[in-house]
Structure 1
Amino acid sequence: MADGSGLNQNTARGRHFTFQSRSGRKYMVTQTISKPVDVLLVEDNPGDARLFRENLKEAGSARYNLTCAAHLAGALSHLDAGHYDVVVLDLTLPDSMGISTLNSVRMHSPQVPVILLTTINDEALALTAIQNGAQDYLIKGQVDGSIISRSIRYAIERHQAGERENRMAYFDALTSLPNRRLFKDRLHQALSRAHRYEEKLALLFIDLDGFKPVNDSLGHNTGDLLLQAVARRLEGCLRKSDTVARIGGDEFTCILPHIERAGDVNIVARKIISELNRPFDISGNRIQISGSIGASLFPDDSADGDELIRNADTAMYHAKKHGKNNLQFFGDSLK
């Protein structure tokens, strides 16, 4: 991934730094870089790019692989093609200007921290960009190798700290699946897209059959391990564009965008039912459970997210009444 600039420096270990996040929370950072830091510089001015490369060579605290892009489109292609630890971004590019440049990078690769490279006249814009998710900014002509190295290190650590906070807020601690909060946010986004492009969308509500007896007889630890195993199997049944979430207890939901017909939902539901029917081996116990699934469709059953959830829940209880371990659609008979 390096551009041949030879930015390989000695690794520093065991150095401690403290920084304060914008929320006021303080973090202790221990620098333990054991591999080169992959940096993507997005800068269309050859002179500024050359100066940045030369400054980075001066940084003796870490090793860097530097890749350069002169356009936003080229930067996004690089991000598609490989891994980067940080993006150093000029907001003024031939094919993008201002905050929209930052937004494009963050939407494309939210897992990569961004540092802005700006002029002193653009410092107000840089501060606005910080409020929009950038981790730090550097002013052209006012930095050296040590400042760049420190900014990169802090940006990576701040981003990781933010990711940890975000994970606690939006993901289920037990299964690592999206929680109810993130599920509703993704449902809102999926419905907006489905409405815009006149697509169908399915929502599945899954309740495990036989989980409570397992939890009561074998204990909560076994029950927790079973829920984790269920989560992994559910993930294996879905596409990358789908979302599976745990919304509480032994209840899970799935968002299935880009559905063409009800038969597509049947295929996914049969796969889920088949996976849940396979015995689970948990702590030496062979455990047999199943799943009752309710499905509602956009726009057939509703265009409102909360109503789609209620409809799928109603259909799930209908599946319970029909012997469990099956799929039921929310149709005219349940309205």
Structure 2
Amino acid sequence: MSLKTLHFLLVEPSPSGQSEIEEMLSIFSNEVHKIEWIVIEEALAALELLKTTHFDLLIVSLPLFIYPRRTLWKELHSLAGATPILTIGEQRDEKTSTLAIHLGAEDYIPKSEYSPTHLWRAILHALERHKMHEKFKELLFADELTRLYNRRGFLTLLTQQISLSKRLNKGFLFFQVDLDELKKINDTHGHFAGDSALKGAALCLKNAFRKQDIIGRIGGDEFAVIAINAPEEEGDYLKKVVHESAHQYNLAHKHPYLLSLSVGAAFYSPQEDPSPEELLAQADADLYVEKKQKK
């Protein structure tokens, strides 16, 4: 039986670092998988290559993409798409490791812990974790109409985010958003218009929040958002961003109705540790205040 060929991109500026990793990859190539790899020393060259070439895994030097400016990492993450990223670096401390995971890497390996077994285990775990995550998300988490997370998927991720926030001792903002007058849109203009309005609401939220934030449709006309690591004082500002996004949507799309969103916010504090149900209730109460003000 022929072995599957895995294509890796190694981005490492140090010749000695390159040699170490290449030697370890050579040990495992042809045993379980055939591994082919390309080595690049510079971040910008790697970004250019990713525009035209697909890889199964990226092994990148974390400092190369976050210093002096983190915009390089954002571009790397965007170009990588669904490709898992394994990060390497000099430091062995919780801050660096947490930063790598927060930025979207599957794992972080300090050079002091390089060994063929450790590296190969990290590679296999990264590939398997990513594969399972993508399959799980596709099968269970997608709302068919909006392609956002459905209620089940969103609440699963909310529970995970609460656990992570407790470990990191960092809070986050939680939003509940209602599409106003959906029943009226359905009754007046038909269910096709109602579906279009729901898709429009999803687009507004995607435009209002960051790529790493988690957005779901949790009910017929109800949406929810986890703004990861967003401080409590940004709550009112982000509400305004959502309303501005809806305004821009109405300017760009000529529908027989105006798309309107109501927004409620709550803050998850690790010290107070509200449950998912309590966060939903708090955001819903805040949303109700905004709805009353619109009447």
Same fold (TM over 0.5): yes
Cα distance in 2, alignment partners of residues 39 and 84 from structure 1: 14
Structure-1 residue corresponding to 2:70: none
Listed one character per residue, the Cα deviations across residues 287-334 of structure 1 (whole Å, up to 9, x for unaligned) are: 21322211111128752122111211122122212226xxxxxxxxxx
Structure-2 residue corresponding to 1:39: 7
- The code of the aligned residue for 2:37 comes to T
Which runs of 5 or more residues in structure 2 are unaligned?
Answer: 10-21, 40-56, 62-75, 86-113
SS in 2 for 1:307: helix
Moved over 4 A (4+): 78-87, 97-101
Higher relative contact order (CA 8 A, sep 6+): 2
Q: Going by fraction, where is helix more abundant, 1 or 2?
A: 2
Structure-1 residue corresponding to 2:260: 290
Cα distance in 2, alignment partners of residues 182 and 216 from structure 1: 30
User: Aligned ranges for residues 57-96 of structure 1 at < 5 Å?
Assistant: 66-67=36-37, 75-77=58-60, 93-94=115-116, 96=118
Structure-2 residue corresponding to 1:265: 235
Root mean square deviation, CA, Å: 3.8
Report if the CA contact (8 A) 2:180-2:260 is conserved. yes
Q: Cα offset for 1:223?
A: 0.9
Q: How does the TM-score come out when normalised to structure 1?
A: 0.54
SS in 1 for 2:60: helix
Structure-2 residue corresponding to 1:323: 294
Listed one character per residue, the Cα deviations across residues 16-61 of structure 1 (whole Å, up to 9, x for unaligned) are: xxxxxxxxxxxxxxxxxxxxx8723987263664x68xx97xxxxx
- The code of the aligned residue for 1:46 comes to S
Cα distance in 2, alignment partners of residues 76 and 280 from structure 1: 44
Cα distance in 2, alignment partners of residues 85 and 189 from structure 1: 22
Report if the CA contact (8 A) 2:232-2:267 is conserved. no
Q: Flag the 1:230–1:45 CA change in 2: closer, same or farther, 3 A.
A: closer
Listed one character per residue, the Cα deviations across residues 127-180 of structure 1 (whole Å, up to 9, x for unaligned) are: xxxxxx5xxxxxxxxxxxxxxxxxxxxxxxxx9xx83x7424211000000111
SS in 2 for 1:258: coil
Task: Please tell me whether Structure 1 or Structure 2 has the larger radius of gyration of its CA atoms.
Answer: 1
Cα distance in 1, alignment partners of residues 81 and 292 from structure 2: 50
Instruction: Quote the sequence identity (%).
Output: 25
Cα distance in 2, alignment partners of residues 83 and 38 from structure 1: 17
Q: Flag the 1:82–1:101 CA change in 2: closer, same or farther, 3 A.
A: closer
Q: Going by fraction, where is strand more abundant, 1 or 2?
A: 1
Q: Cα offset for 1:211?
A: 2.3
SS in 2 for 1:176: coil
Structure-1 residue corresponding to 2:210: 239
Q: Flag the 1:273–1:84 CA change in 2: closer, same or farther, 3 A.
A: closer
Report if the CA contact (8 A) 2:171-2:268 is conserved. yes
Cα distance in 1, alignment partners of residues 82 and 245 from structure 2: 36
